[in-house]
Amino acid sequence: MMYRKRELYFFREYFQEFYGRQNDKVKKKILWTLKLMEELDNIPEKYLKFIKNSSGIYEIRVQVANNIFRIFCFFDVDNLVVIGHGFQKKTQKTPKQQIAKAEQIKTEYYDSKE
């Protein structure tokens, strides 16, 4: 068993709602990608990318054939990765409303910790 470099925390039902809508092939690739998040020292940008002009939001990148999916996350203390919502990407740029939603989830998360 590999040692986990990061701990994933699924905040509220956001991720589960997205994940539940996917087919088995997509689910398998999502789980594989999340495992990389836990185990790799340095995650290639192909799988994890910082969202420019955000408050520390990253997107986990999942591709299955021509379908592209993004799962938003951010880092908290001690290598904790907080997983927010996901969506299927249909345009070149990540839609602003999706980034806004990720920011909102991050705010909710920190508010819930107080």
25-to-70, 78, 79, 106 alpha-carbon distances in Å:
15, 32, 28, 29
Q: Which helix (H) or strand (E) holds 111?
A: helix 96-113
pLDDT for the residue numbered 21: 98
Model pTM? 0.94
How is the chain split into domains, by residue range?
7-113
Q: What is the DSSP letter of 65?
A: T
Question: Residue 88's pLDDT band (boundaries 50, 70, 90)?
Answer: very high
Please give the class, per CATH, of domain 7-113: alpha beta
Q: Which long-range contacts (CB under 8 A, 24 or more apart) does 54-61 make?
A: 54/99, 54/102, 54/103, 55/103, 55/106, 56/106, 57/99, 57/102, 57/103, 57/106, 59/94, 60/33, 60/34, 60/86, 61/33
pLDDT at 77 over 90: yes
Work out the end-to-end distance of the chain between its first and last CA atoms, rounded to an integer number of angstroms: 35
pLDDT at 29: 98
Residues 6+ apart with CB under 8 A from 12: 105, 108
pLDDT of residue 78: 87
Residue entry with tokens 């790799």: 40
What's the longest Cα–Cα distance across the chain? Answer: 42
Mean pLDDT of the 97-101 span: 97
